[in-house]
């Protein structure tokens, strides 16, 4: 099954590579599920390029709170997502197209991936 995945971070994964896509569960109480969820881990999938071993995450997968620090000092992010995040689903797919777009107003890159889900994944 083919699908398109958009993420708000750079993930330059080459065509033909196999990726593992992880989505996290929304564990907020029902009464708090209204409004803006852009600072919640469930809003963004996490990607693992199985051919290179490189993991692509949004900062909310790696740290609690806002995107701290500044652009002159590197944040010391972990190599894996926060252990308290609840995984909702994991699936694998082959990359059939990848596009990175510079979003100047946000001073960052976004990624569009065309994926072909692997059977049984």
pLDDT for res 69:
60
Check whether 78 has a pLDDT greater than 60.
yes
* Residue 64 contacts residue 91 (beta carbons within 8 Å): no
Task: Determine the structural domain holding residue 69 and report its residue range.
Answer: 2-117
> CA-CA distance, 57 to 36, in Å (whole number)?
19
Q: Pick the residue with more confidence: 54 or 28? A: 54
In the block, residue with structure tokens 């900062």: 59
pLDDT for res 68:
60
Structural tokens at position 19:
């990726």
User: 110-121: per-residue pLDDT in tens?
Assistant: 999 999 999 875
If one counts the domains in the chain, the total is 1
Percent of the chain predicted with pLDDT > 70: 87
> CA-CA distance, 99 to 111, in Å (whole number)?
6
In terms of Cβ atoms closer than 10 Å to its own Cβ (0-12, 13-18, 19+), residue 21 is buried
CA distances from 75 to 10, 21, 82, 84 (A): 17, 24, 15, 20
Check whether 107 has a pLDDT greater than 90.
no
**In whole numbers, what is the pLDDT of the chain averaged over residues?**
88
* Residue 15 contacts residue 120 (beta carbons within 8 Å): no
pTM listed for this prediction: 0.86
As a whole number, mean pLDDT of residues 25-43 equals 77
Going by C-alpha positions, the residue among 93, 85, 109 that lies closest to residue 6 is 109
């Amino acid at each position: 099954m083919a699908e398109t995945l958009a993420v708000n971070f750079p993930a330059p994964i080459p065509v033909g590579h196999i990726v593992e896509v992880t989505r996290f569960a929304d564990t907020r109480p029902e009464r708090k599920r209204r409004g803006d969820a852009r600072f919640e881990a469930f809003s963004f999938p996490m990607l693992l390029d199985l051919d290179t071993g490189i993991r692509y995450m949004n900062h909310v997968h790696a740290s609690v709170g806002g995107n701290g620090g500044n652009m002159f000092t590197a944040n010391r992010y972990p190599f894996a997502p926060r252990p308290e995040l609840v995984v909702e689903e994991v699936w694998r797919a082959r990359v059939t197209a990848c596009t990175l777009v510079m979003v100047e107003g946000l001073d960052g890159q976004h990624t569009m991936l065309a994926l072909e889900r692997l059977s049984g994944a």
